Structure 1
Amino acid sequence: MSDKSLRVYFTTHHDGRLTGQLLPVWDSFFDKPPPSAYGASEAEVLSLLETRVRQLLREDDAALERFLWEEDLEARTITVEIHPQTVHKKRPVISQALIPLRLTYVYGRMEGGAWRVRVPRFDWSFVVEELSIARDVLQIALSTALLGEKPKGLYDFRHEGEEYVRAWDPLGSRREVRGGARREPPPEVLDQVGEELTSRALGSRQPALVYDAEAMREWLELAQRRPPPSLLLVGGTGTGKTSHVSMLARRIAERRREDKTVHLPDIWRTSAERIVAGMVYLGMWQERCLKLIDELSHEEDYLFVDRLTSLLAPQPDGSSIGDLLLPAAMSGEISLIAECTEAELERCQRRFPEALRPFRVLRIESPPASRMPELMQRYQSVRRSRVGIHPVGLRQLVAHLDTFQRDSLFPGKAFRFLDWLEQQGERGQSRTLYPRDASEAYARYSGLPLQLISDEIPAERHVLAAQLQKGVIGQERACELAAGVLARFKAGLNDPDKPVGTLLFAGPTGVGKTELSKQLARTLFGDEQRMIRLDMSEYMLPGSAQRLMEVGPGITSLAERVRQQPLSLVLFDELEKAHPEVFDLLLGILGEGRLTDGLGRLVDFRMTVVCMTSNLGVAHSEPAGFGAERGAEDFTRAIRQAFRPELFNRIDHIIPFRRLTEADVLRIVDLELEKAASRAGLLRRGLKLVVEPDARAWLARHGYEPQLGARPLKRLIEAKVMAPIAVRLAAHPELEGVLLPVVVAGSAAERGLRPEYRALATLLDPPVA
Structure 2
Amino acid sequence: MESGAWRVRVPRFGWSFVIEDLSIAREVLQNALTTALLGEKPKGLYDFRHEGPEYVCSWDPGGLQRDSRGGKREVQRPEVLEQIGEELTSRALGGRQPALVYDAEAMRSWLAHAKRQPPQSLLLVGGPGVGKTSQVLMLARFIAERRREDKETRLPDIWRTSAERIVAGMVYLGMWQERCLKIVDALSYENDYLYVDRLTSILAPQPDGSSIGDLLIPAAMSEEISLIAECTEAELERCQRRFPEALRPFRIIRIEPPPASQVPEWMLRYQSAKRSSVSIHPLGLRQLVGHLETFQRDSLFPGKAFRFLDWLEQQGERGKARTLYPRDVSEAYARYTGLPLQLISDEIPAEQATLAAQLRQGVVGQDRACELAAGVLARFKAGLNDPEKPVGTLLFAGPTGVGKTELSKQLARTLFGNEDRMIRLDMSEYMLPGSAQRLMEVGPGITSLAERVRQQPMSLVLFDEIEKAHPDVFDLLLGILGEGRLTDSLGRLVDFRMTVVCMTSNLGVESSEPAGFGAERGSEDFFRAIRQAFRPELFNRIDHIIPFRRLSEADVLRIVDLELEKAASRAGLLRRRLRLVVEPDARAWLARHGYEPKLGARPLKRLIEAKVMAPIAVRLSADAALEGAMLPVVVAGSAAERMLGPEYRALATVLEA
Q: Return the TM-score normalized by structure 2.
A: 0.88
- For 1:408 and 1:458, how far apart are their aligned partners in 2? 28
Amino acid at match of 1:714: K
Q: Paired residue for 1:272, among 142, 163, 171?
A: 163
Amino acid at match of 2:271: Q
1:132-143 matches, cutoff 5 A: none
Whether the 8 Å CA contact 1:502–1:609 is kept in 2: the answer is yes
- For 2:228 and 2:611, how far apart are their aligned partners in 1? 65
1:758-769 matches, cutoff 5 A: 758-766=649-657
2:249 is equivalent to residue 358 of structure 1: yes
Residues 229 and 609 of structure 1: CA distance in aligned 2, closer, same or farther (over 3 Å): same
Match of 1:435 in 2: 326
Amino acid at match of 2:357: A
- For 1:681 and 1:735, how far apart are their aligned partners in 2? 11
- For 1:223 and 1:254, how far apart are their aligned partners in 2? 14
Whether the 8 Å CA contact 2:509–2:524 is kept in 1: the answer is no
2:472 is equivalent to residue 581 of structure 1: yes
How much does 1:491 deviate? 0.6
Amino acid at match of 1:650: R
Higher percent of residues as strand: 1
How much does 1:521 deviate? 0.4
Q: Return the TM-score normalized by structure 1.
A: 0.76
- For 2:514 and 2:301, how far apart are their aligned partners in 1? 57
Amino acid at match of 1:441: A
More deviation, 462-471/616-625: 616-625
Match of 2:276 in 1: 385
Match of 1:195 in 2: 86
2:433 is equivalent to residue 542 of structure 1: yes
SS in structure 1 opposite 2:373? helix
2:589 is equivalent to residue 698 of structure 1: yes
Q: Paired residue for 2:306, among 412, 415, 428?
A: 415
Cα deviation digits, residues 593-631 of structure 1 (max 9, x gap): 111101010000000000000001111687243112357
SS in structure 2 opposite 1:182? coil
2:92 is equivalent to residue 182 of structure 1: no
1:457-536 matches, cutoff 5 A: 457-536=348-427
Match of 1:375 in 2: 266
Residues 621 and 609 of structure 1: CA distance in aligned 2, closer, same or farther (over 3 Å): farther
Q: Paired residue for 2:294, among 403, 406, 430?
A: 403
Match of 2:510 in 1: 619
- For 1:752 and 1:499, how far apart are their aligned partners in 2? 58
Provide the aligned C-alpha RMSD in A. Answer: 1.5
Flag the structure with more relative contact order, 1 or 2, with Cα contacts below 8 A and sequence separation at least 6.
2
Q: Paired residue for 2:227, among 336, 339, 359?
A: 336
1:68-217 matches, cutoff 5 A: 179-217=70-108
Amino acid at match of 2:167: V
Task: List gaps (5 residues or longer) in structure 2.
Answer: 1-65
Whether the 8 Å CA contact 2:635–2:654 is kept in 1: the answer is yes
Residues 626 and 257 of structure 1: CA distance in aligned 2, closer, same or farther (over 3 Å): same
- For 1:532 and 1:373, how far apart are their aligned partners in 2? 34
2:461 is equivalent to residue 570 of structure 1: yes
- For 1:226 and 1:648, how far apart are their aligned partners in 2? 58
Residues 630 and 394 of structure 1: CA distance in aligned 2, closer, same or farther (over 3 Å): farther
2:210 is equivalent to residue 325 of structure 1: no
How much does 1:632 deviate? 10
Match of 1:242 in 2: 133
Runs (4+) off by over 4 Å: 175-178, 630-633
Amino acid at match of 1:637: R
SS in structure 1 opposite 2:620? helix
- For 1:484 and 1:335, how far apart are their aligned partners in 2? 55
Amino acid at match of 2:142: R
- For 1:513 and 1:284, how far apart are their aligned partners in 2? 51
Whether the 8 Å CA contact 2:586–2:634 is kept in 1: the answer is yes
- For 2:324 and 2:188, how far apart are their aligned partners in 1? 53
Whether the 8 Å CA contact 2:395–2:503 is kept in 1: the answer is yes
2:567 is equivalent to residue 685 of structure 1: no
1:39-58 matches, cutoff 5 A: none
- For 1:247 and 1:596, how far apart are their aligned partners in 2? 30
More deviation, 444-453/198-207: 198-207
- For 2:159 and 2:257, how far apart are their aligned partners in 1? 26
SS in structure 1 opposite 2:253? strand
SS in structure 1 opposite 2:525? helix
Amino acid at match of 1:264: L
- For 1:633 and 1:326, how far apart are their aligned partners in 2? 61
Residues 692 and 192 of structure 1: CA distance in aligned 2, closer, same or farther (over 3 Å): same
Cα deviation digits, residues 728-751 of structure 1 (max 9, x gap): 111112121111111111011111
Task: List gaps (5 residues or longer) in structure 1.
Answer: 1-174
Match of 1:708 in 2: 599
Whether the 8 Å CA contact 2:509–2:526 is kept in 1: the answer is yes
Cα deviation digits, residues 89-112 of structure 1 (max 9, x gap): xxxxxxxxxxxxxxxxxxxxxxxx
Match of 2:537 in 1: 646
More deviation, 411-420/618-627: 618-627
Residues 202 and 178 of structure 1: CA distance in aligned 2, closer, same or farther (over 3 Å): farther
Q: Paired residue for 2:555, among 650, 653, 664?
A: 664
Amino acid at match of 1:417: F
Identity %: 86
Q: Paired residue for 1:610, among 491, 501, 505?
A: 501
Whether the 8 Å CA contact 2:513–2:597 is kept in 1: the answer is no
